[in-house]
A and B are shown apart, each in its own frame.
Chain A
Amino acid sequence: MPRPDRLTAVMALPLLAALALPAFGFRPNRIAPPEARTITDAFGTPLAATLAGGTILLVIALLFLRRPGMRMVPLGAALAVLLVLLGRGAATLLDQAVPAARVSPGAGFWLAGGALVLLLVDAFARMRPGPAARAGLLACAVAGIAALLGSGALADLSVAAEFRLRADAFHRATADHLFLAFGSFLAALAVGLPTGLAVQRHAGLRGPVLNLLTLIQTIPSIALFGMLIVPLAWVAAHVPAAANAGIKGIGMAPAMIALFLYSLLPIVANTVAGLDAVPRAVTEAARGMGMTGAGRLWMIDLPLTLPVILAAARIVLVQNIGLATVGALIGSGGYGTFIFQGIGQTATDLILLGVIPTVALAFLTSSVMDLLIALTRGQPQ
């Protein structure tokens, strides 16, 4: 008998425990504390028993299925079943309840879902996928999630109900969040790349510039937002053009500036490190061949530094997507608005309406950036 798969042996515990945990949280209205509902409550004993049997079969199959491609088939199917049950269960539970009632996924679903995703990612990683395969999986995952949300299969879940109440605000928040995170990144790139080049060429600039940027990086985000309110309010009061452009002590402007400042250090530091890593002999040869300064920059330095700059872009984008939520505290808009409103109202669904897209956006961005980095590193160095 072959040796059973070790990760499955570990993951069997949460998968089986999930069956015993409450599958749903039921609330009579959106801010009431949740009451536990089991699978049996939602679907009756026969289906609950079938589900338990199915889970045990899945665990046994995974213990002995070694080929990663083969493992992905039952795992994908199980995840699909889990999501369908989630939607159906919510619909069933709401059928018998008051109109304001809400159903959210319970501990059982989170645990089982988490274990399945982990096993899927592990199976995929074991296939040692190239950039093309990774891009394919990412596209499939995005398309699958879009189809799932579009199909209405999860429309009865509490977060979806919350979304329907605030669809307009959500779209505005999405636009604001993207503008904050990517706009500040692009501005930092436009300033940071030339700064990095200058710092690398002039040894005297290196210490002061990098130290200043490191100092900015150590200021906590809320403190930096606060520090920007006073000067920007002064500018808005004294420079009519700035005020007309929408610059105020609170709102988008200070958040944008803070994210821009935070973005500078990774971009400048990585540009400098990347340029430092270009071998001396390569630079010497390029000069000796008669390349102009601009020619060397475009043909040699930037291509060789690109993977390191992309690594900085990845750090900055993920950092900005997260920090942009904090901007909501000073009125910048974005998903953070929902999070802080939700905390104020003790409305978990509203918090999740801000948290889920933030996490998804950060994850998607970092996956895409990882792919780009893999592609540029794929060129032999």
Chain B
Amino acid sequence: MIEIEALTKSYDGRPVVDGVTARFARGTLTAIVGSSGSGKTTLLRMINRLVEPTSGRVLIDGKDVSRIPEVPLRQGIGYVIQGYGLFPHWTAARNIGVVPTLLGWPKAQIVARTAELLRMLQLDPAEIGPRYPHQLSGGQAQRIGVARALAARPELLLMDEPFGALDPLIRRQAQRDLARIRRQSGTTIVLVTHDMNEALYLGDAIAVMRGGRFEQFDTPDRIIRAPATPFVADLVGETGRALRLLALHPVGPLVGAGEAGGVPVDDTASLSDALAEMIWTGRDRLPVADAQGRHLGIVTRDDILAAGRE
């Protein structure tokens, strides 16, 4: 768990981060959303002490980070930045293995861990491992950056605009990968982005930042339903709010007894996906199945519409 207490960073007396207090729960993904200059990157960099706070403190699992020496602190925290910063004179495999190497892991263990991470990110270790960064596509480089951050199995992962340099199609895939990795590893993630859609898609909690302060720190559902300030409302957007809300919730809880024809939807699919399927195939009820294909019941259009109105 990360606790941020009255954290402030000023440059020449001007606060960039201004008295932020918040808690990020273990195993969750907190998305910090804001435009450039809002202080979101500075806040992130105070967690691994790349920036030292002017006042206030950061605690990780109750320990004040300012009392932990920089080097071991950072080696224990995964860090992904925009542009990835892969070391251009090292192969992808050596890039991934950098923190385990710094920690003095045995060589065989580093090799095994590198291969495991590459496979987890759907990259062939024999093919991609020996490549140099300039021989990688943007999507591959991004995944190597994520693999490098995860190599030493950190409990905390900091990500600064990790998908900013990707084109939309690959970005979507990378976001799905991150969601999957998170489910598998249970890592606590703090992610900085300027993209509210990304925050809504990935975040368990969203902090909207402006002028160095949190305008609202809430669940995605609450951010959409009850924006605390006009700025937050503006970021979420007036139009399409109902559809965004539907996109946050899975079909599962709305499943009722009954039978319906046609192709079933997954119980983990979002309500907006189910609604889109109804519009496209001209149905007003869909059968719902679980991951193993077992029939669970049906979901009706009226129930979905009601969920979007709440």
Contact = CB atoms under 8 A, between A and B. Distances in A.
Q: Do A and B bind each other?
A: yes
Interface of A: 279, 281-292, 295, 299-300, 303-304, 379-381
A285 B89 CA distance: 14
A379 B85 contact: no
Contact of B89 (A283, A289, A291, A381): A381
Given A287-B50, A287-B74, A289-B148, A304 B88 contact: yes
Contacts, number: 69
B132 A290 contact: no
Contacts of B102: 289-291, 295
Contacts of A282: 85-88
Contacts of A380: 88-89, 132, 134-135
A363 to B, nearest CB: 30
Contacts of B75: 289-290
6 contacts: A281-B84, A282-B85, A287-B74, A290-B70, A300-B87, A380-B88
A285 B81 contact: yes
A-B pairs with lowest CB-CB distance, top 8: A285-B85, A290-B74, A290-B75, A281-B85, A288-B79, A380-B132, A281-B83, A282-B85
B79 A289 contact: yes
Interface string B46-75: 001010000000000000000000111111
B82 interface: yes
A242 B89 CA distance: 46
B99 interface: yes
B132 A288 contact: no
B85 A381 contact: no
Given A281-B81, A285-B79, A380-B132, A290 B89 contact: no
A299 to B, nearest CB: 8
A289 B135 contact: no
A290 B98 CA distance: 10
Contacts of B134: 380-381
Given A380-B134, A381-B88, A289 B74 contact: yes
Which of A295, A299, A380 is most buried by chain B, counting CB atoms within 10 A of its CB? Answer: A380
A379 B90 CA distance: 9
What is the predominant secondary structure among interface residues of chain A facing chain B? helix
A288 B48 contact: yes
A295 B87 CA distance: 13
Contacts of A288: 48, 50, 74, 79, 81, 85, 158
A307 to B, nearest CB: 10
Contacts of B135: 380
Which of B75, B84, B88, B134 is most buried by chain A, counting CB atoms within 10 A of its CB? Answer: B88
Which of B73, B74, B85 is most buried by chain A, counting CB atoms within 10 A of its CB? Answer: B85
Contacts of A379: 89
Contacts of A291: 71, 98, 102
Contact of A279 (B70, B85, B132): B85
Nearest to A283: B85
B86 A285 contact: yes
Contacts of B148: 289
Contacts of A300: 87
A279 B50 CA distance: 17
A288 B86 CA distance: 12
Given A282-B87, A381-B89, A381-B134, A289 B81 contact: no
Contacts of A303: 89
A300 B132 CA distance: 15
Contacts of B74: 287-290
Contacts of A285: 79, 81, 84-87, 145
B144 to A, nearest CB: 11
Contacts of A381: 88-89, 134
B88 A284 contact: no
Contacts of B72: 290
Contacts of B82: 281
A284 B71 contact: no
A373 to B, nearest CB: 15
Which of A281, A292, A303 is most buried by chain B, counting CB atoms within 10 A of its CB? Answer: A281
Given A285-B79, A289-B74, 9 more contacts: A281-B82, A284-B81, A288-B50, A290-B73, A290-B99, A303-B89, A304-B88, A380-B134, A381-B88
A286 B90 CA distance: 13
Interface in B81-121: 81-89, 98-99, 102
Nearest to A379: B89
Nearest to A287: B50
A289 B83 CA distance: 15
Nearest to B103: A290
B87 A286 contact: yes
Contacts of B86: 282, 285
Contacts of B83: 279, 281
A279 B79 CA distance: 17
Interface string B127-165: 000001011000000000100100000000010000000
Nearest to B148: A289
Contacts of A283: 85
Nearest to A291: B102
A287 B73 CA distance: 11
Nearest to A292: B71
A291 B81 CA distance: 16
A299 B90 CA distance: 10
